[in-house]
A = this chain, B = another copy of it.
């Protein structure tokens, strides 16, 4: 089984309840990669018999590190409307809350559509050498990342500060895997903390809250298949020990699949 799907394996454990477990392949510095946790919460709602439609919007809050082992997810449907549905989701371990989320699911309707932004200029992913992460974070191996701009700082020499916080990269699951809403949630969190890029070095940092808006419908995800996604992210302000970063994820044809935003704690 693909490591992405393996991480999302959940068994029902009572009304509105699901049981899952961390797998070593997705380990981050502390606990699992935040993107895989977000994807797991999406999957939990997708599995629920009352689920109505597809993911529209998701906010995930990281309360405390998930430790290696089993976890419980509570998916509570708060309201079902004709065209959409609202969920509150909580992930806990031994009764201690670790992650909370709200999710909007819904039906998409045909109608006027337009995209106001264009993807950043980038050579084809085939023309870029795959990145070798500069330090041993296990989950990186689950993605083929090809940086166009703003690669992870090289910590071998003196820190090289950057005036820009922008990272642009091609990315896809490794081994490749068809895109779906859960995978899109995960890749929305692919961008390492922008403060690393600005400072040219690693500092303590961790996402406190991430929001994903799913622009693509099922047809557009099917067209995406297992191809690379072009992602770009930047920050706006660092202050009081927090900064924001906003990201856009495009298909190779230029279709905007998702936008995401996060607020990150840091110490520098």
Contacts and interface: CB of A to CB of B under 8 A. Distances in A.
A33 interface: no
A213 interface: yes
A97 interface: yes
A111 interface: yes
A111 B268 contact: yes
A240 B217 contact: yes
Nearest to A58: B209
B113 A240 contact: yes
Given A61-B102, A81-B63, A256 B236 contact: yes
A89 to B, nearest CB: 10
A78 B99 CA distance: 9
Contacts of A101: 102
Interface stretch (A24-32, A131-139, A141-149, A259-267): A259-267
Contact of A81 (B64, B117, B244): B64
A153 B155 CA distance: 52
A195 B239 CA distance: 32
A211 interface: yes
A267 B102 contact: no
Nearest to A112: B268
Interface in A57-108: 57, 59, 61, 63-64, 78-79, 81, 83-84, 86, 88, 90, 97, 100-102, 104, 106, 108
Interface residues of A, number: 61
A238 B59 CA distance: 20
Contacts of A236: 115-117, 215, 248, 256, 259
Given A57-B209, A213-B244, A244-B259, A237 B114 contact: yes
A111 B209 contact: no
A3 B112 CA distance: 38
Interface string A220-241: 0000000000000011111111
Contacts of A113: 237-240
B104 A208 contact: yes
Interface of A: 56-57, 59, 61, 63-64, 78-79, 81, 83-84, 86, 88, 90, 97, 100-102, 104, 106, 108-117, 165, 195, 198-199, 208-209, 211, 213, 215-217, 234-242, 244, 246, 248, 256, 259, 261, 263, 265-268
